[in-house]
Amino acid sequence: MTVDIVTIFPAMIEQPLTAGILGRAIERGTLDVKVRDLRDFTTDRHRVVDDVPYGGGPGMVLKPDPIFRALDAIAAERGAPLTVIMTSPQGRPFTSAEAERLSGLAHVVLLCGRYEGFDERVRERVTEELSIGDYVLTGGELPALVVLDAVARFVPGVVGDEQSVAQDTFSRGLLNHPQYTRPPEIAIGGAAASPERVLKVPEVLLSGNHAEIRKWRKREALSRTLARRPDLLAAASLDDEEVQLLRELKGASHERD
Ligand code: SAM
């Protein structure tokens, strides 16, 4: 997958992309990410990318012309038409389903805003507008990295074990089950204010009984989703065993109430 990111702060994007799973995917060529400095598409001596808002008011607005020139240059290099994603708190909420959908595209452009955002006419060249949450950040660089990271996990070959992506939270509309690793027991506390307690890994995970482990994980994922994100359950794709487990969990919670 090829991704072009347009920003006035290239270093904010380039540095994080040298590490971890994304860094390795870029090194291997599974992902081709090019960061474009918006100032390279200005025509004045001072490389100005922003101007005051018409009508007055606080802050500055990103000018449309450098962005249009950047998009023209990308289209000339990659081929048109472009899929252009504007990062924006006014956009559609970015979800795991959106990430999976975008991972099927061969090429996308991510636009990072700054200041008061983009001149409205930039939207004429935008395919979609995505928000990473109901809060306002100072710029689109972190949202662009969030979108890229979440999308890249669905690109075949990026995450070594594709099963892990398929089992992660949201993949089937459920939160993931709890995970444990060694040691099997660990003591915490021990100070006067908090007496020592031994935290144990659930017995079933040490049993070697794979059928029981699978069932335990299903039950834990369902009970966690029921407790924390019951809104997800309506759209979750559950197998027969999970439907039965959920019925039992709901029955047990009614009895407790
Ligand atoms: N004046 C804009 C508004 O009220 O909608 C906010 C502009 S914000 C300070 C600057 C830039 O940060 C935006 O153009 C966008 O690129 C990015 N941004 C901020 N919050 C975001 C969010 N929740 N999701 C995606 N992008 C965001």
For 169-256, CATH gives 1.10.1270.20
At 168-194, the pLDDT tens digits run 888 889 999 999 999 999 999 987 778
At 202-212, the pLDDT tens digits run 999 999 999 99
Protein residue with its CA nearest to atom 1 in ligand 1: 116
Protein residue with its CA nearest to atom 9 in ligand 1: 138
* Annotated active-site residue in 168, 217, 219, 229: 168
SS3 242: helix
Tell me the average confidence (pLDDT) per consecutive run of 10 residues in the chain, 257 residues long. Answer: 98 98 98 98 98 98 98 98 98 97 98 98 98 98 98 96 83 94 94 87 98 98 97 95 97 82
Mean pLDDT for the chain?
96
CA–CA gap between residue 18 and residue 157 (Å, rounded): 17
How far is ligand 1, taken at its centre, from the CA of residue 49, in Å? 16
Is it true that the peptide bond before 66 is cis, omega within 30 degrees of 0?
no
For residue 153, indicate whether it is catalytic.
yes
Same fold, 2-163 and 169-256: no
- Mutual angle of helices 240-256 and 210-228, in 10-degree steps: 50
Would the CB of 116 count as within 6 Å of ligand 1? Answer: yes
For residue 27, indicate whether it is catalytic.
no
Would the CB of 53 count as within 6 Å of ligand 1? Answer: no
Domain 2-163 matching CATH 3.30.70.20: the answer reads no
Block residue for tokens 């809060």:
135
CA–CA gap between residue 139 and residue 257 (Å, rounded): 46
How far is ligand 1, taken at its centre, from the CA of residue 6, in Å? 15
Do 1 and 122 touch, CB atoms closer than 8 A? no
DSSP annotation of 121 reads G
Q: With b meaning 16 or more CB within 10 Å and e meaning fewer, what string describes 35-69? A: bbbbeebbeeeeeebbeeeeeeeeeebbbbebbbe
For residue 116, indicate whether it is catalytic.
yes
* Annotated active-site residue in 4, 119, 153, 242: 153
Please state the domain extents for the chain: 2-163, 169-256
pTM value is 0.94
For residue 168, indicate whether it is catalytic.
yes
* DSSP string computed for 194-237: B--EEEE--HHHHS--HHHHHHHHHHHHHHHHHHH-HHHHTT--
CA–CA gap between residue 110 and residue 85 (Å, rounded): 5
